Amino acid sequence: MFNHGSAALYTKLVSGALRAGLQSHFVGVNSGSAQIARGLGPLAQGMVFAQVVP
């Protein structure tokens, strides 16, 4: 699970993990979902994002 932080870093981490064959499920909370999804392209398939609102 990712919570806040650099969308570029998370994109690198997720794409590297998936390309290495890791079959984890990735979840993001307030983590720049649009930027991550755009950066991952088809690799974003199946990711879950949530937005916490007060």
Considering its fold, how many domains does the chain have in total?
1
Q: How confident is the model at residue 52 (pLDDT cuts 50, 70, 90)?
A: confident
Separation in Å, CA 3 to CA 20, 26, 50? 23, 11, 10
Q: What distance in Å separates the CA atoms of residue 36 and residue 12, rounded to the nearest whole number?
A: 9
Q: For residues 33-48, give the mean pLDDT.
A: 88
Q: What percentage of the chain reaches a pLDDT higher than 90?
A: 22
18 or 2, higher pLDDT: 18
Per-residue pLDDT at 43 exceeds 80 = yes
Q: How confident is the model at residue 31 (pLDDT cuts 50, 70, 90)?
A: low
The two structure tokens encoding residue 48:
């879950």
Domain with 12 in it: 2-50
**Looking at residue 50, what DSSP letter applies?**
E
Local structure of 22: helix, strand or coil: coil
